[in-house]
């Protein structure tokens, strides 16, 4: 199952050529993953209270098109793999039916000292159900 989040391009996210700056797409992806976790009942504040942080370990982004002023975009997110400590997400941004950006992102759970720790069982179950 894919989670879907919509976002509207704001004027200050544009580069001098009138396109969404490449780094902004990474922010859209991050916001969509955080929104999904929130909807699953695991807002980042709760995870932090529980001593868990989800940190990005690798990002692979492919740009296929560009968005412009006031475009409404759809960000799709799904879990590709869930392991003991790590997870991998597939994400893409669409304008209508057109895929603009695709991303694969790997992340790991760490404790407050930055040491790897298991994905909490409840979180793992929620992510499995949500995919």
Indicate the average pLDDT of the chain. 95
Q: Which residues fall within 8 angstroms of residue 100, CB to CB, at 6 or more apart?
A: 25, 63, 64, 65, 66, 67, 73, 92, 93, 94
Strands of the sheet with 86-95, listed across from one edge? 3-8, 72-82, 86-95, 98-110, 53-63
Q: Is the predicted pLDDT of residue 121 greater than 80, yes or no?
A: yes
Query: Does the structure show a pLDDT above 80 at 7?
Result: yes
Q: CA 13 from chain center: how many Å?
A: 18
Alpha helices in the chain (DSSP H): 22-39, 44-49, 121-130
What are the contacts of 119-122 at 24+ separation with CB within 8 A?
119/82, 119/83, 119/84, 119/85, 119/86, 119/87, 120/50, 120/52, 122/42
Average pLDDT of the residues in 18-30? 97
pLDDT at 130: 72
Taking CA 53 as the corner, what is the angle to CA 50 and CA 109, rounded to the nearest 5 degrees? 105
Measured CA to CA, the distance from residue 59 to residue 23 in angstroms comes to 12
Residues 2-24 have a mean pLDDT of 96
Distance CA 122, CA 14 (A): 39
pTM exceeds 0.85, yes or no? yes
Q: Does residue 49 surpass a pLDDT of 90?
A: yes
Q: Structure tokens of 105?
A: 């992102």
Statement: residue 131 has pLDDT above 60? no
- The single residue of 15, 50, 70, 71 carrying the catalytic annotation is 15
Q: Average pLDDT of 92-103?
A: 98
50 catalytically annotated: no
Give the chain's domains with CATH numbers. 3-130 (3.10.129.10)
């Amino acid at each position: 199952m894919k989670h879907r989040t919509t976002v509207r391009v704001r004027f200050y996210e544009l580069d001098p050529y009138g396109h969404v700056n490449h780094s902004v797409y990474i922010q859209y992806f991050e916001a969509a993953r955080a929104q999904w976790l929130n909807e699953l009942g695991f807002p980042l504040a709760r995870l932090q209270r529980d001593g868990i942080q989800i940190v990005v370990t690798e990002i692979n982004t492919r740009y296929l098109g560009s968005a412009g002023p006031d475009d409404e975009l759809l960000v799709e997110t799904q879990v590709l793999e869930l392991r003991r400590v790590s997870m991998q997400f597939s994400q893409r941004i669409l304008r209508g039916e057109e895929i603009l950006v695709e991303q694969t992102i790997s992340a790991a759970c760490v404790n407050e000292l930055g040491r790897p720790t298991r994905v909490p069982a409840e979180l793992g179950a929620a992510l499995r159900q949500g995919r």
